[in-house]
Chain A
Amino acid sequence: MRTNKPILYPSLFNRLYSVWYRHFRIYTKNLVSNGLPPFLEPLIFLAGMGLGLSKFLVEMDHLPYIQFLATGLLVTTAMFTAAFECSFGTFIRMEFDKVYDGMLAAPINVRNLLIGEILWAGTKGFFFTFAVLCMLTLFGILPLNGSTLLSPFVGFLTGVMFASISLLITSFVKDINQFNFYFSGFLSPMFFFSGVVFPIGNLPPVLRPVAEIFPLTHTVRLVRAVCFFKFNYSLLLDFLFILVITLIVAYFAIQRLGRKLVT
C-alpha cells in the first residue's frame, strides 16, 4: 500500500544537523563543567612548562619556546577532545547507553549518524582551539589578528581527522579498556614526536620519516603557519595529507562501524 503522496523525509543537511544538534544539546547541558576546562588546561600546561623550562630553552625553530609550545597546543587540544569523543564517547553511546538504537529508529541512516558524529567532533576541535587561542591572546603570548583567528579552523580539521581515526579504532574495540592502547600507544607518542614539544629536525634522521607519517605533524605545521603568517607551498602537501587521510580513514570507519550498527 504505497501512498500517492511523496514522503518528504528530512533532507541530508537536516539529517546531519539533527545528529549534530543532539550532541550539541548534551554537551551544552553542563556548560560550566564541559566548557571551562578547555580554557584552564592550556594555562596550567603553559605555566608548568613555561615557568620551569623556559630558562633553559631560549628558542625553538627561531621562536621563543613559549610561543613554539603554545601554538602546538592549539591543535593537540583539538586532537584529544575529538579522540575522546569518538572513542570512549562513541563506544558508550553504542554499547552502554544504547543511544544509537533510538537515533537509528528515526529517519536517518547509519552514514548520516557517523558523519554527524565526525562533524560534531570537528566542532569541538574548533571550540577547544578557540579556547586555547583566547588564553594565548589574553596573556600576550600570541598577537590577535586576522591570521591567528584562522587557527580554530585548523582545530576543526584536526578534530575531523582524529574523529575519523578514532571511529576506525572504535570499530575494532571489543572492550572499552582497549582504548588505553590507543591513547598511550598512539596519541601520546604523537604528542611528543610531531613537532609540538620540539622541532622534528631535532629527531635522529632515521625517525624523521616516522614523524611525517603522524597525522598531527601536518596540522601542527598548518597552525604555526596560520599563527605566524608564514605560508609556503609545502603547506599544500600538509593540507592534502590531512584531506586524504581523513577521507580514507572515515570511509573505512563508516563501513566497519556501519556493519556493527546495522547488522
Chain B
Amino acid sequence: MTGNDVIRIRHICKTFDDLKAVRDLSFSVRESACFSILGPNGAGKTTLMGMVYGRTRRDKNKESRVSVFGYDPLHEELKIKYLAGVVPQENNLDEELNVMQNLDIYSRFYQIPKKTARDRIHSLLEFMELQDKKKSRIRELSGGMKRRLIIVRALLNNPRLLILDEPTTGLDPQVRHLIWDKIRQLKKERTTILLTTHYMDEAFQLADKILIMDNGRKILEGEPKVLLKRNIERYVMEVMSREKYNKMKTDLDRKRVRSDEVHEVALLYSNDLAYLKSRASRLTAGDHFIRQTNLEDLFLKTTGRKLNENQ
C-alpha cells in the first residue's frame, strides 16, 4: 500500500562535479508522519531535502523517481512548493522590515487574499507565541524568535508538507521544547513532516521513522525504538578514566561486551546489565556511569567516530 505516501523517492543520486553528495537513496514518507533524516555535516541531508522541493535537480538516470503529492519536482515544482512549507537551514528574514511586513511579503508569493492573510498571520504568530512582536524589527528579535518567525513564514499557506532543515540548531532548551511541541501539534493536524537534525533526542522525540545517512548513503532506516533494539546493545558503561580502563580491559569477556575506546572515555556496550554492574564494582563511583543506550550511540556506531572531510 503506497496510496498514502506523500513523498516517494527511489534510487536518487546527486553529483556535484566530482563529489557524490547523494548515492542511490530510496525512502517513502506516509501522510501525517514525521520522517527524520540524521547524519553528520556533509552527509547530504540538505541536498536530499532540496531534491524534494525542486531546489536541487537530481542526476538523470533511468531508475530514479521522485514523487511528492504525486508530482515530480523536476517538472512540477510550483505545485509542490504551493503545497509545502520550507524552513531553510540559515535564517533569511528581511532585516529592514518588521515581523508583520516580512510575513506580508511572503503571503503575496502564495497569492493569499489580503484579509485572509492578515487573519492567518495573527493566528500563526499566536501559535508560535510571537503575538507581542508584530511590530518588532528583525534585529530586535532573539535567535529563537527569528527561528519561530521563519516557521510561521513556512506555515503561511497551510502546508500539507513541512520541510524543516535543522530547525533547532543553536537554540536554547526552552525554545527547542516549544518548537517540538508545535511540531507535534502540526502532526496531529495531519501535516506531514520531513526533518533533518543533528540532535538525536530531537529525532527520538518527534520522528515516527528515521533515516541515518553518511557520505550520501543510507546506513539505516526504521522506527527509532526498533532500530535501537535491532542494532545496538541495550546498555552501556562509560568509564571516564583511561588508566582504570586499561587495568580492567585484560579480563573483559569479549563475548559479552563490545568496547569503543577511541577517546579518553571508554564505552562498554552490553545486553547484560548484571555483567556490566559486576565490572563496575571494581571502579569508584565517580569514574563510571551505566545507562541505557540511545540513538546517539547508534549514530556513532553506524557513522563512525572519525570526522569526515566536510565536518
The residues of A with any CB-CB pair to B shorter than 8 Å are 1-3, 7, 9-11, 14-15, 17-18, 21-22, 25-26, 29-30, 97-99, 101-109, 262-263
Chain B contacts with A in 74-117, Cβ cutoff 8 A: 77-79, 81-86, 88, 90-97, 101, 104-106, 108-111
Docked-complex contact B79 and A7, CB < 8 angstroms: yes
Closest to A27 in B: B96
Q: Supply 13 further A-B pairs (C-beta < 8 A) apart from A29-B97, A98-B88, A101-B92.
A: A1-B70, A9-B78, A21-B108, A22-B94, A22-B105, A25-B97, A25-B105, A101-B90, A102-B92, A102-B150, A105-B85, A105-B163, A263-B55
Give the CA-CA distance A30 to B110 in the complex, in Å. 26
B53 contacts A by Cβ under 8 Å: yes
> Which residues of chain B are within 8 angstroms of A10 by Cβ–Cβ distance?
82, 109-111
Could you pull out 27 A-B pairs where Cβ atoms are within 8 angstroms? A1-B70, A2-B69, A2-B70, A3-B69, A9-B79, A10-B111, A11-B111, A14-B108, A22-B105, A30-B96, A98-B91, A99-B94, A101-B88, A102-B153, A103-B109, A105-B53, A105-B81, A105-B84, A105-B154, A106-B106, A107-B78, A107-B82, A109-B54, A262-B55, A263-B55, A263-B56, A263-B57
B286 contacts A by Cβ under 8 Å: no
> Which residues of chain B are within 8 angstroms of A18 by Cβ–Cβ distance?
105, 108-109, 111
> Which residues of chain A are within 8 angstroms of B16 by Cβ–Cβ distance?
263
Chain B contacts with A in 236-255, Cβ cutoff 8 A: none
> Which residues of chain B are within 8 angstroms of A97 by Cβ–Cβ distance?
92, 95
Cβ of A169 to closest chain B Cβ, rounded Å: 23
Docked-complex contact B81 and A21, CB < 8 angstroms: no
Q: A-facing mask of B152-192, CB < 8 A → 1, else 0?
A: 01100000000100000000000000000000000000000
Docked-complex contact B83 and A7, CB < 8 angstroms: yes
Docked-complex contact A98 and B90, CB < 8 angstroms: yes
B42 contacts A by Cβ under 8 Å: no
Give the CA-CA distance A7 to B83 in the complex, in Å. 8
Q: A-facing mask of B48-79, CB < 8 A → 1, else 0?
A: 00100111110000000000011100000111
Query: Which residue, A3, A9, A21, A22, has most C-beta atoms of chain B within 10 A?
Result: A9
Give the CA-CA distance A29 to B85 in the complex, in Å. 27
Query: Which residue, B86, B106, B109, has most C-beta atoms of chain A within 10 A?
Result: B109
B31 contacts A by Cβ under 8 Å: yes
Give the CA-CA distance A26 to B154 in the complex, in Å. 20
Closest to B71 in A: A2
Could you say which of B70, B109, B150 contacts A108, with CB atoms under 8 Å apart? Answer: B109
Closest to A7 in B: B79
Docked-complex contact A7 and B92, CB < 8 angstroms: no
Give the CA-CA distance A29 to B94 in the complex, in Å. 11
Docked-complex contact A99 and B79, CB < 8 angstroms: no
Closest to B68 in A: A1
> Which residues of chain B are within 8 angstroms of A7 by Cβ–Cβ distance?
79, 82-83
Closest to B107 in A: A18
Cβ of B102 to closest chain A Cβ, rounded Å: 9
Cβ of B199 to closest chain A Cβ, rounded Å: 22
Cβ of B137 to closest chain A Cβ, rounded Å: 10
Q: Which 3 A-B pairs have the closest CB atoms?
A: A2-B70, A105-B86, A106-B109
> Which residues of chain A are within 8 angstroms of B97 by Cβ–Cβ distance?
25-26, 29
B136 contacts A by Cβ under 8 Å: no
Give the CA-CA distance A25 to B88 in the complex, in Å. 22
B4 contacts A by Cβ under 8 Å: yes
Chain B contacts with A in 100-143, Cβ cutoff 8 A: 101, 104-106, 108-111
> Which residues of chain A are within 8 angstroms of B202 by Cβ–Cβ distance?
none
Q: From known contacts A7-B79, A98-B90, infer whether A262 and B56 are also in contact, taking CB-CB under 8 Å.
A: yes
Docked-complex contact A104 and B55, CB < 8 angstroms: yes
Cβ of A6 to closest chain B Cβ, rounded Å: 9
Q: From known contacts A14-B111, A25-B101, infer whether A1 and B5 are also in contact, taking CB-CB under 8 Å.
A: yes
Docked-complex contact B50 and A263, CB < 8 angstroms: yes
Docked-complex contact A109 and B78, CB < 8 angstroms: yes
> Which residues of chain A are within 8 angstroms of B95 by Cβ–Cβ distance?
97
B6 contacts A by Cβ under 8 Å: yes
> Which residues of chain B are within 8 angstroms of A9 by Cβ–Cβ distance?
78-79, 81-82
Closest to A19 in B: B109
Closest to B87 in A: A105
> Which residues of chain B are within 8 angstroms of A99 by Cβ–Cβ distance?
92, 94
Give the CA-CA distance A108 to B5 in the complex, in Å. 25
Query: Which residue, A18, A97, A99, A106, has most C-beta atoms of chain B within 10 A?
Result: A106
Docked-complex contact A107 and B109, CB < 8 angstroms: yes
Cβ of B86 to closest chain A Cβ, rounded Å: 4
Could you say which of A1, A11, A21 contacts B69, with CB atoms under 8 Å apart? Answer: A1
Cβ of A15 to closest chain B Cβ, rounded Å: 8
Docked-complex contact A26 and B96, CB < 8 angstroms: yes
Cβ of B17 to closest chain A Cβ, rounded Å: 11
Cβ of B46 to closest chain A Cβ, rounded Å: 10
Q: From known contacts A10-B110, A21-B108, A25-B101, infer whether A105 and B69 are also in contact, taking CB-CB under 8 Å.
A: no
> Which residues of chain B are within 8 angstroms of A22 by Cβ–Cβ distance?
94, 105, 108
Give the CA-CA distance A3 to B154 in the complex, in Å. 21
Closest to B2 in A: A1
> Which residues of chain B are within 8 angstroms of A109 by Cβ–Cβ distance?
54, 77-78
Chain B contacts with A in 1-41, Cβ cutoff 8 A: 3-6, 16, 31
